Structure 1
Amino acid sequence: MDVQTLNNMDSVFKKEEVPLFIAQFWQQRAALAEREVDSLKEQLAATVKRAQLADEADGGSDSQRRSATERQLASKDNEICQLVEDVQRLQSQLSELENQSVCQRAKLEEELSQKSSIIQRLEAIIEQQKDYEELKKEFS
Structure 2
Amino acid sequence: MTVPQPKLILDSVTGSGSATNAGTFTSANIDTLGADYVSIDISATTQSASTQAGSPSVLKIQESDTTVVTSFADVVGFRGASATATNVDFVVGIGKTSGVNAYKFNVDCRGRKRYLNVVISPTTTQTFEVTANGFRLEQSASTASKAGVLNLVEG
Report the TM range for the smaller structure's normalisation. Answer: under 0.3
Q: Which structure has the higher relative contact order (CA within 8 Å, separation 6+)?
A: 2
| Larger Rg, first or second structure (1 or 2) | 1
Q: Which structure has greater strand proportion? A: 2
TM-score for both structures, normalised by structure 1: 0.11
Of Structure 1 and Structure 2, the greater helix share is in 1
TM-score, normalisation: structure 2:
0.10
